[in-house]
Chain A
Amino acid sequence: MSPAAIVACALIVSLVLYALGAGADFGGGVWDLFASGPRAARQRETITHAIGPIWEANHVWLILAVVLLFSCFPSAFAAVGTALHIPITVLLVGIVLRGSAFAFRSYGLEPGEAQARWGRVFALASLVSPLMLGVTLGAIASGSLTIDPVTRLVRTDFISAWCAAFPFAVGFLALALFAYLAAVYLTLETEDADLRGDFRRRALVAWEAAALVGILALVLARKGAPAIYAGLLGRPWLLAGNTLVSIAALQALARRRYPAARVLAALQVAATVAGWGLAQYPALVPPDLTITNAAAPEPVLRAVLGALLAGAVLLLPALFYLFRVFKGGRSMPIESMRKHVPEHVDPLF
């Protein structure tokens, strides 16, 4: 495997991990927006406690993906940044508002006061960001970012590449998958059977939505993203494997086997993201930029791979500790969490 291909794998791995972590955090925001019924407040509380300790670490996978893209495939980064300026800008506004609103609500405010307003901002931004992330990735996959062979710059009118049916189908697919993932994870964040039931129902609805939008995206891909379509048809095991895992996840959910459902749902989302990567391999930004012709000089690739390895050695133990502390048990009842949140004020003076 060439160094460029290894970096491309690392890029897809960080996008997969971003989807599995931050994707579910965005999905949590979606369920905050659609919290309903007699347990709406407790649904929101469970979501907040589930996201709190980990969302910032989850977020960094996106930064890592961007950095890998611009260090190792600079022409691809330039092309994407130029042609998809508008959806990326909206995505960024969403990311900024989601993170800030969550922080304001969780650490800045006394209970009650203005919390609801920031909660609403957090929830709406959690809806917009996955949509725009999906639109951006869908536009890349659609193969409409062509490169002028003379100027080596992307040919673009800044709009038509993303303002089309296929990118938006991918946007809604990302939204549905993230919401689905979040609902499945959330079944394990509470001991309360009723709350679990709430999240299970939401997971089932989101599964159906994801399946519908997924099929729609596939149909649209025939015209809207021919390279992906051909890639998927040429590798039928990709679609078959994805379908199999999805149905297994649905079964586990239906039978209330939540730990198994969590693993299978994560696999399902990972398979979707990685499947996109495989379907368009070796193209990076189809049709013109490939892993080979967009790659930075080899010494750079080797140095970045070294940095990845060294960074992983330092990072993984800390990340493992974080997840063991907060996600280690099968579940983390909110009632026992509450006494761990430092909000009391000592009678000091």
Chain B
Amino acid sequence: MSDLLAARSQMAVSLAFHIVFAVAGIAMPVLMAIAEGLWLIRGGPVHLELARRWARGTAILFAVGAVSGTVLSFELGLLWPRFMAFAGPIIGMPFSLEGFAFFLEATFLGIYLYGWERVPRVAHWLAGVGVAVSGAASGLFVLTANSWMNHPAGFRLVAGRVVDVSPWAAMFHAGWPVECVHMMLAAYLCLGFAVAAIHARELLRGGRNLFHERALSIALVVGGVAAVLQPVSGDASAKLAARTQPAKLAAMEGQFRSQPFAPLRLGGLPDEASGRTRGAIEIPGALSWLAYGDPRATVRGIEDWPRDERPPVAVVHVAFQIMVGSGVTLLALALAALSRRRRLFESRGLLRALSILGWLGFVALEAGWTVTEVGRQPWIVYRIVRTADSVTPMPNLIAPFLLFTGLYVFLGAIVFVLLRRHVFASPRMPA
């Protein structure tokens, strides 16, 4: 394994791990604050117990997210020092703001977790809302920095040196609203459905139980609203890629040669040696229409770019298919649940589907992340800095890669077991 590949793999593992907890840190507080809000309005023990259980879950997930995020902020320098020397000043601004948003989130969370009987009820609920809002803000700031790598702006290059840096222009570049909305919706979508999956499973195992029914309802509302909005945002994201990163779009769609009336390919496996995508269901003209609003529009194929400027087509295309397929499945689940309303709890088939397919949100999340990151390759800053030129000169990078992979696999397993046993399980009944 080359050092570059080891560095990329370590970054991929770190991000794939952190993104799960980051998403939980953004969306869990929303569930928790909704449950407590309902308790404030309606009273009764169920919503209070839900808020407390979800708060415990948030505490664990947030803690792991905080430390894995710290690792990432250092890894930028440990693995990509030359990228950071270049990009640090340009995108430092959103990172500084993110620091504060994260700070606020941690502060409010401290008040929320330990303040149940130390602060007034409404102040406690407001602290929960504060966690949710600052969590969303912190996510948004990180996303503006990340999407800047796709849409570098706010500086000029003169003889290889960065001049005329404008941190605001870098932060509010052309792509930020589209990319940020897509990822924020993804956070609510995948966490809402994952929580729904857990409570659906408990309902299947233990029979009717008000605790899990209320939990399922709240989680499904949050996840379902996001699932309905996500296709709109996804369409905007693809149109943005068509405009600003046509090579990424070509890889997403397995489009090798430029052509008008380009077909939309469902499934299929791109073969880079022969320059064809095999086994896909093709809808003629649909890609041209989706990307440019005109079925006659020409979509550029990946072969338009020199070999050393192409992203790996197969990985990006397959990841994209997985993401879209998962998203569509979740949308269907949301609509099915909506059509059943309260009869949902009696419908074992739908509960079973939810308990299994609800996890697809996280599959879509990781796949979508793969699309945007691998689709940008070989660039770390699109068309400006290559990933290969940014890596640290440090040798034996396979060692830290294996170290962090082992650590994260271990922690991930522990978190999963703890959450299942102690947060989402049915409340103990008095003997």
- Does chain B have a CB within 8 A of A193? no
Which residues from chain A contact B92 at a C-beta distance below 8 Å? 67, 70-72, 74, 296, 300, 304
Distance, CA A326 to CA B117, complexed state (A): 12
A82 pairs with B393, CB closer than 8 A: yes
A63 pairs with B89, CB closer than 8 A: no
Binary interface encoding of chain A residues 292-333 relative to chain B, with 1 for a CB under 8 A from any of its CBs, else 0: 000011011001100110111011001101100110000000
Which residues from chain A contact B77 at a C-beta distance below 8 Å? 66, 70, 77-78, 80-82
Q: Please name the residue on chain A nearest to B87 by beta carbon.
A: A74
Distance, CA A91 to CA B45, complexed state (A): 43
Q: How far is the CB of A66 from chain B (nearest CB, A)?
A: 5
Which residues from chain B contact A85 at a C-beta distance below 8 Å? 78, 392, 394, 400
A93 pairs with B52, CB closer than 8 A: no
Task: Give A33-78 interface residues, CB cut-off 8 Å to B.
Answer: 52-54, 56-57, 59-60, 62-64, 66-68, 70-72, 74-75, 77-78
Q: Please name the residue on chain A nearest to B97 by beta carbon.
A: A307
Q: Please name the residue on chain B nearest to A295 by beta carbon.
A: B89
Q: How far is the CB of A125 from chain B (nearest CB, A)?
A: 10
Contact of B167 among A99, A303, A348 (CB under 8 A): A303
Q: How far is the CB of A106 from chain B (nearest CB, A)?
A: 8
Task: Give B207-230 interface residues, CB cut-off 8 Å to A.
Answer: 209-211
B67 pairs with A70, CB closer than 8 A: no
B116 pairs with A340, CB closer than 8 A: yes
Total interface residues in chain A, CB < 8 Å: 73
Q: Please name the residue on chain B nearest to A110 by beta carbon.
A: B422
- Does chain B have a CB within 8 A of A108? yes
- Does chain A have a CB within 8 A of B111? yes
- Does chain A have a CB within 8 A of B305? no
Stretch at the interface among B57-65, B261-269, B311-319, B328-336: B57-65
- Does chain B have a CB within 8 A of A181? no
- Does chain B have a CB within 8 A of A92? yes
A315 pairs with B118, CB closer than 8 A: no
Contact of B89 among A62, A110, A300, A318 (CB under 8 A): A300
A318 pairs with B107, CB closer than 8 A: yes
Stretch at the interface among B98-106, B245-253, B345-353, B363-371: B98-106
Which residues from chain A contact B168 at a C-beta distance below 8 Å? 303
Q: 10 A-B residue contacts at CB 8 Å?
A: A54-B110, A60-B99, A60-B102, A67-B99, A72-B92, A77-B77, A85-B392, A100-B67, A103-B59, A318-B107
With A71-B91, A81-B77, A312-B100 already in contact, 14 other A-B pairs whose C-beta atoms are closer than 8 Å: A52-B113, A56-B106, A59-B66, A60-B66, A63-B73, A66-B77, A70-B84, A72-B89, A93-B403, A99-B67, A108-B56, A314-B100, A322-B107, A325-B118
Q: Spell out A's residues near B (CB within 8 Å).
A: 52-54, 56-57, 59-60, 62-64, 66-68, 70-72, 74-75, 77-82, 85, 88-89, 92-93, 95-100, 102-104, 106-110, 153, 158, 296-297, 299-300, 303-304, 307-308, 310-312, 314-315, 318-319, 321-322, 325-326, 339-342, 345-349
